[in-house]
Structure 1
Amino acid sequence: MGVDYIYFETLPQVQAHLIVNTVLTFLATGCVCLRIVTRFMSGARLWWDDYLIIASVPQGIGMLVLQGMYSKVGVGYPITETLPNLKVILQMLVAYELIFSVAISTIKLSVMMFYLRVFVNQGLRLAVKLVMAFVGLWSLGNILQVFLICRPFAATYDPLVKGECGNQVASFIAIGAFNVVTDVLILTLPIRTVWGLSMSVPAKVGLTGVFLIGLMQSP
């Protein structure tokens, strides 16, 4: 990585977290593969929602790889012991932030493209497009803050570089808060339309549950 660093033994809790994320990444990748296979078997052509969710797979795997690398540089250890690895930890953090920002934006846009593909309600389609514009601007802000939070940029990942940095903790909190807000907006968009469909109440409840279960994943 361009600098020397010390390997640390992975702590049990860090290893457990890595195993859980590995399983979830494997399941998510499998679901995407099944989705694409199903689309081909039904004779349906892939659309933007499919291409976007396919693009999110390597992004998610990249985040998992970075987490695995993190586990070897002292995650969970006292900072006094991991100081020699501070630069490489910060470098990984910058990479993780960037991939995370792109990945969650890709997934959110995929969901909204799916709405545009399956729903014909003009009011819902307009609302989806407005939320897409909001998510696009929010995503751009997330990506820009990775590069603009410190001046010069090298101060973001190198503690020896003199520079000025904004409040990174506040930045992380803002990203997380807006992530939850956009999740709620996206997952509740089709609810009104679903309840206006000509189907049984249990079916409507089931569809509503499918959309709202995604809220459980919000940070």
Structure 2
Amino acid sequence: MCTLTNGKLVAAANATGVAILSIDPFRYTSPQQNLAIGITIASTALAFIVLCIRVAGRVSSHQFALDDALVCIAMVLSILETAASYMFIKTNFIGIRWQDVPPHDPVPGLVWNYAIEILYNPILALVKTSILLFLLRLFGQKRDTRRFIIWVNTANIGMMIAVFFATVLQCTPINKTWEPTLEGTCIDRRILFTVSSSFNIFTDILILAVPLKIFMGLKIPRRTKIALMFVFLLGFLTTITSIVRLVLLLQGLFMLQTSLSADANIGFVTSAIETNLALITASAPALRPLLRTWFPKLFRVDRDEVVGNTERRVLGTAATRMTRLKSQTQLPSQSPRKSEEAIMTFNGIVRKSDIIIQYSNPGLDNMRPATATRSPVGRESQQLDKWI
């Protein structure tokens, strides 16, 4: 097969020896094709900017972890997918009316399509693993939640490996994937891509269920709960895009009737939108410090309002009172304190310290200090309190 030279028509031959014409696809364009290219590049650029902000914030706070590294790897793969998508759009004349598509060699387009198929699934799987690791670190103290996250992540990684090898080895020999006329066998790619896309949607829903269940049970200010749920559940946008992509995929694979005209069908870009939107929504929770600076009333939680942290509750009822004992002789405390101060006497020595005295009996005769403890019910609240 001859290579393309300066956009001129060049004779080429397929596996059967029949001469075909190959042209320079970069000479052909249309508004629809430019739109497809613009969406693909713009979505990748936006994802890259959001990821850079995330990494900068995590590094500056010395919190860069494995989940951040996995998202960075997914971003590199997304950039490679964008480059392959650009070549696919040009070599397959995406967005150009079929009447205007000249006779051309289909092999280059099939090669770029094969590259996109290989890159697509690992990007989503790595992003989901990153999200699950973040949720595990944040809410993994509860056994049931931890077990659920581990099982979902195991299924996600297993599916990533299985789909990767199934995609790479979809045809035997491999080059039959882009040269259909060669002798060999291929699996039913319609079933492969339909099952993998459906599984992606299913795991999306399972992952979104974790923060939804936890936040619904937290006793924090309503406005803060709504804001945090909004940040964590932005992944629904990715799920909606995945569903749209699956519908378009089924229409193309099974030759179903579609309302899109030949010159307006740029549904291919949903793959790039889905992967980059997954990167953006996965980084949203990690942008909390920035969001808290921009929207302090929504994203700044008053830790005294988080139920479950009994050491910081305001004790002002009849049954439990906080008292401050004063004395004329005081020893300076060893370090500055921000909480309420109290004076306790031990063996005749008066020491100033920061404590909270909680009484189990309102009567003065039976007043006994009780040790402040953390309620087991508030473990998620306590961990969220650290993250916030």
TM norm structure 2: 0.52
Match of 1:179 in 2: 200
Which of the residues 207, 215, 219 maps onto 2:236?
Answer: 215
Structure 1 residue corresponding to 2:75, chosen from 57, 63, 84: 57
Bigger fraction of residues in strand: 2
Letter in 2 for 1:211: F
Are 1:31 and 2:86 an aligned pair?
no
Where does 1:127-166 land on structure 2 (aligned, <5 Å)?
Answer: 127-166=148-187
Aligned partner (choices 190, 203, 221) of residue 200 of structure 1:
221
How far apart in 1 are the matches of 2:102 and 2:183?
A: 21
Distance (Å, rounded) in 2 between the aligned partners of 1:199 and 1:3: 65
Aligned-pair CA distance for 1:18: 1.8
Q: Aligned Cα RMSD in Å?
A: 2.2
- Give me the whole-angstrom Cα distance separating, in 2, the residues matched to 1:144 and 1:2: 31
> Judging changes above 3 Å, is the alpha-carbon distance between structure 1 residues 15 and 47 closer, same or farther for their aligned structure 2 residues?
same
Give SS of 2:131's match.
helix
CA contact (8 A) 2:208 2:233 kept: yes
- Give the match for residue 16 of structure 2: none
Residue 118 of structure 2, aligned match among 90, 98, 102: 98
Equivalent pairs: percent with the same residue?
25
Paired residues, what number? 218
Distance 2:112 2:198 in 1: 23
Closer/same/farther in 2, CA of residues 79 and 167 from structure 1, 3 Å limit: farther
**2:35 maps to 1:12:** no
Q: 1:189 to 1:81 in 2, by over 3 A?
A: same
Q: Write the letter of the residue equivalent to 1:20.
A: I
Letter in 1 for 2:231: V
CA distance 1:81–1:159, change in 2 (3 Å): farther
Deviates more, 1:123-132 or 1:16-25: 16-25
In structure 2, how many angstroms separate the alpha carbons of the residues matched to 1:115 and 1:98? 27
Q: Distance in 2 between matches of 1:99 and 1:127?
A: 27
| CA drift at 1:169 | 2.2
Q: Which residue of 1 aligns with 2:84?
A: 66
Q: 1:83 Cα deviation (Å)?
A: 5.9
Runs of 4+ aligned structure 1 residues displaced above 6 Å come to none
Unmatched runs of 5 consecutive residues or more in structure 1: none
Corresponding residue SS for 2:105: helix
Quick one: distance in 2 between partners of 1:179 and 1:10?
Answer: 33
Per-residue CA deviation, residues 110-159 of structure 1 (Å, 9 max, x unaligned), is: 11111122223322121110000110111112101212322222211112
Distance 1:88-1:56 versus aligned 2 partners, 3 A rule = same
Q: Does 1:190 align with 2:221?
A: no
Does the 8 Å CA contact 2:118/2:168 hold for their aligned counterparts? no
Q: Which has the larger share of helix?
A: 1
Between the aligned partners of 1:79 and 1:164, the Cα distance in structure 2 is 32
Deviation at residue 29 of structure 1 after TM alignment? 0.7
Question: Normalising by structure 1, what TM-score?
Answer: 0.90
Distance 2:137 2:220 in 1: 20
**5+ residue gaps in structure 2?**
5-21, 243-388
CA distance in 2, matches of 1:188, 1:2: 54
SS at match of 1:194: helix
- Say yes or no: does 1:86 pair with 2:86: no
- The aligned counterpart of 1:169 is 190
